[in-house]
Amino acid sequence: MMTITLQVQGMTCGHCKAAVTNALQALDGVSRVEVHLQEGTVDVEYDETKVSVEKLKEAIEEQGYDVK
């Protein structure tokens, strides 16, 4: 398992947190998601044999947020 911290712009509230969490958890291979609104970061624990970092970023961007 790998853990990555992504910088995500535009998250401001509980709805944002839920949208990002649900989008990531829907991906096969993601085992843990922790959103930090204050810092604008998302910690993701995932199986790199099942899902790529690019797919993680795409899932967040599809919710309307920018990933750095």
| Domains of the chain and CATH, by start | 1-65 (3.30.70.100)
CA distance 55 to 15: 21
pLDDT band at 63 (very low <50, low <70, confident <90, very high): very high
Please say whether the beta carbons of 62 and 6 come within 8 A: no
- For residue 25, the model assigns a pLDDT of 98
Cα-flanking dihedrals φ and ψ of residue 35, to 5°?
Answer: -100, 130
Q: Within 13 Å of residue 10, how many CA atoms lie on the same side as its CB?
A: 12
Is the Cβ–Cβ distance between 55 and 27 less than 8 Å? yes
- Are 48 and 63 contacting, i.e. CB atoms less than 8 angstroms apart? no
pLDDT of residue 38: 95
